[in-house]
């Protein structure tokens, strides 16, 4: 009986010792697994954040407003200017080439647009605060006679690259049945023919925008000078 009791006691202590040895190992493996999972999650999060930041900042360029000239149709002052005489010249001075179909331009200033005869008595000029939007800089929805001629070199590869100029004209809106990608409103009234002219001596604010990220690539201000015929 004494021998049996001794064997039982030795077996009990042997089992307990084995369990105590296994428990720390299992705990260590579990902690290691948790740390690996957490490290992977952090790495993926940082990678995604870096990727999003890179995409958001992908289009960066130095755009300068070289000149802004124009005027308004005004027989009283004698300083008549057609919408076609209103021209803004921008130049790409540094940074990445800008894909024309992903770049929009917003311009704010004081001037005129023309309202076609949508209804009897509605035909005529609208004068006031102009909000002007080029949905993109591609040839789509533009007046080929004005837009394509002024920007022929830049439009060839659909990229606005360093050293290239871009000319915006008051007659850039599409003519006829083609839907224009140039949008003009005067004091909030968008029933216009999407052409525009700015008052001489007034200030315009121009923003070049990356439409994919909604980032403002460049913002420029200028005073309108009378066009030189």
State residue 175's pLDDT score: 84
> 224 Cβ partners below 8 Å, 6+ apart?
68, 69, 70, 71, 109, 198, 199, 200, 201, 202, 203, 204
- Look at residue 1 and tell me whether its pLDDT is greater than 50: no
**Residue 106: Cβ-neighbour burial (10 angstroms; 0-12, 13-18, 19+):** middle
Least confident range from 64-78, 87-101, 142-156, 170-184: namely: 64-78
pLDDT for the residue numbered 34: 75
Q: Are residues 22 and 102 in the same domain?
A: no
C-beta separation of 185 from 131 below 8 A: yes
Instruction: Please tell me whether residues 96 and 13 are part of one structural domain.
Output: no
Spatial separation of the C-alpha atoms in residues 206 and 145, rounded to whole Å:
24
The model's pTM is: 0.73
* Residue 81 pLDDT > 60: yes
Domain identity same for 146 and 197: yes
What confidence category does residue 50 fall into, taking pLDDT thresholds of 50, 70 and 90?
very low
Number of domain units in the chain: 2
The number of angstroms, rounded, from the C-alpha of 166 to the middle of its chain's C-alpha atoms is 17
Q: Which domain holds residue 150?
A: 61-226
Question: Does 33 share its domain with 10?
Answer: yes
């Amino acid at each position: 009986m004494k021998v049996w009791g001794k064997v039982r006691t030795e077996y009990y202590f042997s089992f307990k010792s084995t369990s105590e040895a296994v428990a720390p190992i299992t705990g260590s493996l579990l902690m290691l697994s948790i740390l690996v999972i957490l490290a992977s999650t952090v790495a993926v999060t940082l990678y995604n954040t870096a990727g999003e930041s890179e995409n958001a900042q992908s289009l960066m360029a130095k755009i300068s407003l070289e000149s802004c000239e124009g005027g308004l149709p005004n027989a009283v002052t004698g300083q008549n200017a057609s919408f076609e005489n209103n021209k803004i010249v921008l130049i790409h001075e540094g940074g990445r080439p800008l894909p024309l179909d992903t770049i929009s331009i917003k311009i704010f200033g004081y001037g005129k647009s023309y309202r076609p005869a949508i209804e009897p008595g509605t035909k005529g000029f609208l004068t006031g605060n102009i909000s002007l939007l080029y949905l993109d800089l591609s040839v789509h929805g533009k007046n080929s006679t004005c837009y394509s001629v002024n920007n022929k070199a830049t439009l060839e590869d659909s990229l606005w690259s360093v050293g290239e100029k871009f000319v915006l004209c008051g007659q850039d809106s599409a003519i006829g049945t083609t839907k224009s990608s140039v949008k003009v409103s005067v004091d909030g009234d968008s029933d216009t023919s999407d052409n525009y002219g700015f008052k001489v001596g007034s200030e315009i604010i121009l923003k070049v925008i990356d439409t994919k990220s909604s980032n403002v690539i460049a913002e420029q201000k200028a005073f309108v000078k009378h066009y030189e015929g």
